[in-house]
Structures are given as C-alpha cells and as structure tokens.
A and B are shown apart, each in its own frame.
Chain A
C-alpha cells in the first residue's frame, strides 16, 4: 500500500500533471493557430476587439451575470469553481507536494479556509449533479459524462477532507489517501481530452466566435467546385439547369 501511495504522490503525479499541461497547451496552441489562420484567410480584418475583450472578462468573473438564469445552480457552480481552483493549489499539504515535484513554492491558505472551501466544493458538486437532474432541459441534454464529472471531482475533495480532518485508523487513512491520489491523477489525465479543457479554452470562445463570422472570399464557389457543381450553382436545381443560359450558370456577375 505504501509503495502505491508513494507512486501516486511521486511519479504518477508528475506524469499526470505533465500530460495535463501538455494536453492543455496543445489544445490552446491548436485553437490559436486556427484563429490566426481563419483571420488571415478572410479579407475582413475588422473585429470588434473591445466587445470580445469585455465579454471574455465578464465570463471569467461572471458574478453579476450568472444570476440572470438559474441563479441557484449558477451560485453552486461558482462556489464549486472557487474550491476547485483554490484548494489544489493553495492547501499547505499540496504546496509541499508542488515544492517537492517542481521546486516552486508559494503561500498556503489557513487550514480553516481550506476546510470551508472543501466543504462547499463537496456540497456544490453534489448539488450540481442534482441540479442537472432536476432541470428537464439539462437532464434531457446531458450525456453520462455531464453527471459523472461533478461526482468524480468531489471524490478527491471528500477523501482529502477525511485524511486531513478525521481521526481514523492507519489502514483507513492509507485507503483514503490512495483514493485521493488516484482520483486526482485520473482527473488530471482526463482534463485535456474532455470538456474539462474548458478551464483553458473557454476564455478563447468569444474570439473564436468573432473570427468564425469572418468568411473567406470565394469560399462558396470553391465549395461548389469541390462538390462537382462548378457549372451549377446551388440555387438552380439540376432539373432546371437547361433553362438557364450557360454564362449565368456559374453565377458570373452580370453587369447591365
């Protein structure tokens, strides 16, 4: 058991963390490349960057706007995210772990605060799952992963809380620590390959949308040519092709 714990805290943690970072970096890089390519392809270079920036920032710190729809669910989501981001990075025990693995260290939050945030994260995580079940729209649309994720994310919080705060036997402690380590590592491995990648990609959405509305010139004709319709624009069904004079078939602009 001890060696599994050491493995989970040591090499496996480093691998999972590295893969997570590389995977997220890849996702960001591909998205940025896609944005630049799309921007370069369209002749229209005017983008409302002020709007893009203000919407991006508003969604990064969405305290006011979350209340517009599903306020209870939104509050739970916000608290969940706070716990998710603060505790793994700033819990004293974790800071030691980071220092051991990367050499970097930073301040730690008081244990009481960590306990509160953990408790909130657990409650919020379960609450999110229930909230998803209780809203008929969300329930019908959700895939299995949408229910599984909040619960999976609760596991390291719950097991970590038990290890830190409850007086349990050594065997029990080891079991919970094992659960804590391996669930956390699993989560890190899954992040780049699932919707959890929104942690790094969501802020790019407003930019992506703005750029996607900038179309390349001539694309429509090239699409038609690729599909073999070069001599038949899509607005004339095949049956009526013979009725149209050939010079107008290609959509040549006719100046009167």
Chain B
C-alpha cells in the first residue's frame, strides 16, 4: 500500500485550532476540546486511572499486556493508519505502550521499584498531551488484535486511554456536545430532533413509500407490547430516508410487529468512544423506553457502533435479569428472506456493487454473510473488496472520529486512504455500507480522494428490490 503523499500528509496534520486556544489549554491536538482544568494534569490522570482500575475490569487486561508485549511490530501489517503514514507513533503497540508504561510505572510493584532504581520521575504533562493526540488517531478497528501473537487488544487500550482522558476533561467537543443533548437536553437525542419533527418525518416517509410503491406503510409510534422496538442512528431520520424506508418496507412486507418510541429513539451511543459512564447511561435509556412500551426485543437500525453497543453492552448495562434480545435489522431482513417471508426480485441492480464491512458489525464475525447473501439476491454484479469480512479495513472514521469535522483532512487523506484505494480498485458504482458513521466517512472519502462511487445503505438498495406481491403482505395501516 502506498504511503500518503507529503502534500496530503501536510494537509492532514494541519490543525484548525486557534493558537490562543492551544495556549490556554496547553493541548495541541487537532480536535476541539471544551475548556477544562489544565492545572496538574499528570497527577489527575493518575488519580483517574486509579479510580478506574478500582471499579472496573481493566486491571486483568493491563496486568497481562504489560508483561507480554513483545514489541515485534507484527501489528503494523494491519493498521491502516500506520500503512498510510509510516510514522512510528502510529504503530499500535507503540500507542498502547504510552498507556502501559504509565500502568507499569505507577501501578505495578516491579515498575515502582525499577523507577526508584533508575530515577524515573513518572508521568509528565507532555506525555498526557501525547496520549491525547495518539488515542484519537486510532480508529479502534481491532484489526491489529488478529496479528498480535501475544493477543494484545490495542483497541481496548485506546478505549481505556480515552476514558481516562475524558475523566480529566480531555474529550472531543463534537462528541461531548452531542452526548450532553442526548442525556440532559430537551430533545433527548444526539441530533436534537424534537418529537414533533420526528413525527413529521415519519409521516413524510410514509407518504414517500406510498408514492414510490403504492403501499400503505406506516411507522408505528408508541405501540405497547410490540415485538421490536426500533433504534436507528437518530441522524438517519434527517439524512438517510432511503435506509429507513427500506427497513420499514421490509418490516411491513414481513408482518413485523414493530414500533418507534417517542420517549427515546436514538441508537447512537458515543460513550463507546470515550467514556464508560456515558456508555452505561445511554444504554439505560434504551432499557427505560423498552420497559415503558413493554417491547419484547430491541431492533437496531443500520448503524455499526449503535448495534455493537446494543448487542454487546445491553446485557451488561440494562439491569435486566434476562436481557431482551438485540438484533440488527440486517439480521431480521436476512432471516425473513431465508425463510421465504420476504421475496426479492433478482437483477434489480446490474451495475457493479461492492460491500464495505463496518468494523463494529464484522470484526467479531457477527454480521458478515447476511448482507452478502441479500445483495447477491438482487444484484447481478456483486464484487468483493479484499480483505473483507472479519479482516475488513476500517473506513477511517471509526470510534467517533467521523463526528469530528475539524479532522476531516486527517480522516480522508490518512485514516481512510487504504479504504479509498480498495473501493477505487473495485470500480464499483455502488458501495453498500450499513453504518451511519461509515456512510458519512466514506462519502467524504470519495469526495476528497476523487473516487467515483455512490455510498448507500443496504436497505436503500433492498427497498427497490422488495417483491411485495408474492411475499406476506401485512401492511400496518395507521
């Protein structure tokens, strides 16, 4: 893979922050941070680290990794950021070592003894700044984990590093502002969509479906006892009408008993990206709404991180004895199609179509075959990118970096370069990316890297291929 060109690197590393802000915050990271307590950062970092170690499960991983790291640099083969920059600081193991050396020095006996022997002063403010920079260059895609012979999960350490930094006030403003609106704002979601606007949008979408297919498909709201309570990335209501229409059409065509809750309707959870307390509180919102409406299952829309959080963290944080099952709409659609309840017309798309595996859906192997089987059912020219499935390359906007507009040059010229090259190489007209964040990143990537390919969701295309006549036709009419 080619390195990013020097001009692109220059653009990518350029910061839009004003010098007086950098000076006041003593922080030269590229992303914006709300003003915070600057004084005595190193000590407060260690305090936060200690508090986190006391109450969480990170200690067992840190004890293991701090002993085992072989510094073999096998992880470099997989890291799309390192492959674009060739910069030593982007080696996953080196980034992890930033945190591991703090742990070793301050939280292990041998580390403390060695420090006495060698006169090591410990964590410095400069190191805290370096961590603040480095942990947000990583997209936490977890590809490096496959290559490490010692089994070190560098994304876990990035996650932990960001958590500690957020506890001393260093977190990307873009994420913090959205979370504040979601948890304390009047709208209760990251896009500040008030309920009346949501209802208007749903009505509009119903009308669009009626115009496009002649069918009455409503978006049920606040139905009690529904089987599925639906949570897309809330931004879909503003930006991805096609994805929502596709999902609603599938649910209608298959007689799915579903609903959207006006009490809470946002699948997004930025807590995954920088703070475990937020992660938990946002997950609890889903639980509260599910309880209010007595829903049986949680149905997530096409969003990678939202689905991953719901699937793998709802059991932890919901507080339910027997946690509600969580599924992604792709799983629902695939199952319905496999069982013959959903019919798809073949060869609806004859242009070249490729598929991008979102990290949060594919890395664990959770959703890899289902979208491909669906796509092959109605596309005649489906091409794969390589590598794919569990080994797929990150879009470059993972772990919340896509929401930070100020680092767009970095994302599209460095972090996403490998992906852009991949998509370009397929020559595809459509790239299906079932993740709201991936979609935003890939669209910006296509623009900045000059690749002619349209980024769509899975249900966007599937919508055009649904055969309403031969499947079950239970329309839920308002």
Contact = CB atoms under 8 A, between A and B. Distances in A.
Interface string B178-190: 0110011000100
B277 A234 contact: yes
Interface stretch (A119-127, A134-142, A173-181): A134-142
Interface in A203-256: 204-206, 208-209, 211-224, 226-227, 233-239, 244, 248, 251, 253-256
A135 B73 contact: yes
B147 A69 contact: yes
Contacts of B365: 51
A36 B78 CA distance: 31
Contact of A216 (B47, B57, B73, B153): B57
A62 B48 CA distance: 39
B238 interface: no
A94 B34 CA distance: 65
A211 B316 CA distance: 12
B156 A213 contact: yes
B117 interface: no
B259 to A, nearest CB: 15
Interface string A31-44: 10011011001111
B77 A68 contact: yes
Interface string A60-73: 00100010111001
Chain A CB within 10 A, most for which of B57, B276, B313: B57
A141 B73 contact: yes
Contacts of B77: 68-70
A195 interface: yes
Interface in A181-198: 193, 195, 197-198
Interface stretch (B64-72, B246-254, B429-437, B439-447): B64-72
Contacts of B107: none
Contacts of B71: 132, 138, 141-143, 146
A209 B61 contact: yes
Contacts of A41: 57
A221 B262 CA distance: 27
Interface stretch (B278-286, B351-359, B463-471): B278-286
B256 interface: no
Interface string B447-473: 000000000000000000000000000
B88 interface: yes
A255 B288 contact: yes
Interface in B50-108: 51-52, 54-61, 63-64, 67-74, 76-78, 82, 88, 91, 93-94, 97
A159 interface: no
A108 interface: no
A43 to B, nearest CB: 6
B23 interface: no
Contact of B315 (A35, A43, A141): A43
B263 A217 contact: no
Contact of A141 (B34, B88, B171, B364): B88
Interface string B308-322: 000011011101000
Residue among B34, B67, B285 with max Cβ neighbours from chain A (10 Å)? B67
A253 B182 CA distance: 11
A195 B319 CA distance: 39
Given A31-B64, A223-B55, A235 B147 contact: no
30 contacts: A31-B60, A66-B149, A69-B77, A132-B71, A138-B72, A140-B88, A140-B91, A141-B94, A195-B69, A198-B67, A202-B150, A202-B151, A205-B150, A208-B64, A209-B61, A212-B57, A212-B156, A213-B156, A214-B316, A216-B55, A220-B280, A223-B167, A226-B51, A226-B55, A227-B167, A235-B176, A235-B180, A235-B275, A236-B180, A238-B37
Contacts of B316: 42-44, 214-217
Contacts of A51: 364-365
A141 B93 contact: yes
A85 interface: no
Nearest to A194: B67
A77 to B, nearest CB: 8
B74 A69 contact: yes
Give the most central of A41, A43, A137, A193: most B CB within 10 Å.
A137
Nearest to A227: B51
Interface in A40-58: 41-44, 46, 48, 51, 55
Nearest to B188: A256
Given A38-B59, A73-B72, A140-B94, 17 more contacts: A34-B63, A48-B364, A59-B151, A70-B74, A132-B72, A137-B94, A141-B71, A197-B68, A209-B145, A215-B56, A215-B316, A220-B279, A220-B281, A233-B183, A248-B184, A251-B281, A255-B263
